[in-house]
Amino acid sequence: MAITTQVRVKDIMTAGARCIGENDSLATAARLMADLDIGSLPICGENGKLKGMLTDRDIVVKAIANGRPAETTTAGALAEGTPLLVDAEEDVSRVLELMQQHQVRRIPVLDDRVLVGIVAEADVARSLAPKDTGETVEQITR
């Protein structure tokens, strides 16, 4: 993939990302998602480190469908694997590479190890050339 401009991740990200605490309930996460009109939240540990991503689909499929109560199941209980993330100063090609390679639609953005935003598929579509957007979406949805 060759993006010809020097676009940085911070140039296309949605700023002001909010976290859900690893010890917060899925019900709390769902209410926050509804209030913010979003479908995912980064999960942050008590130490401030990113633990993973929580999606509305995770809440429904991994918890509720399996009989896990949303009021008592924590967001951290659904955090799996090592979270993907990018630095705000990185070239945007890095975030596209990660999205394609791992088939994910959203990646948290850090600046000096602090969560400052998220790059979502919609950010890519709004900010980059149709060719780059098309390649990314094609790889994500494989």
Cα(41)–Cα(109) distance, rounded to whole angstroms? Answer: 12
Lowest-pLDDT range of 9-23, 52-66, 74-88, 124-138: 124-138
pTM score, whole prediction = 0.82
Q: Residue 34 burial (CB < 10 Å; 0-12/13-18/19+)?
A: exposed
Mean pLDDT (the chain, rounded) = 89
Are 118 and 42 within 8 A, CB to CB? yes
Long-range (24+ apart) CB contacts under 8 A made by 121-127 are 123/12, 123/13, 123/14, 124/12, 124/95, 124/96, 124/99, 126/12, 127/7, 127/11, 127/12, 127/92
In eight-state DSSP terms, residue 39 is: S
> What percentage of residues in the chain have a pLDDT greater than 70?
96
Cα(117)–Cα(124) distance, rounded to whole angstroms? Answer: 14
**The pLDDT of residue 1:** 45
Residue extents of the structural domains in the chain: 9-140
**The pLDDT of residue 5:** 60
Mean pLDDT of 113-121: 90
Are 134 and 23 within 8 A, CB to CB? no
Kindly report the CATH number that applies to the domain delimited by 9-140.
Answer: 3.10.580.10
Q: For 11-49, write each residue's pLDDT tens digit.
A: 999 998 899 999 999 999 999 999 999 999 999 988 778
Task: State both tokens at 77.
Answer: 């209980």
Position with higher pLDDT, 63 vs 112: 63
> What percentage of residues in the chain have a pLDDT greater than 90?
61
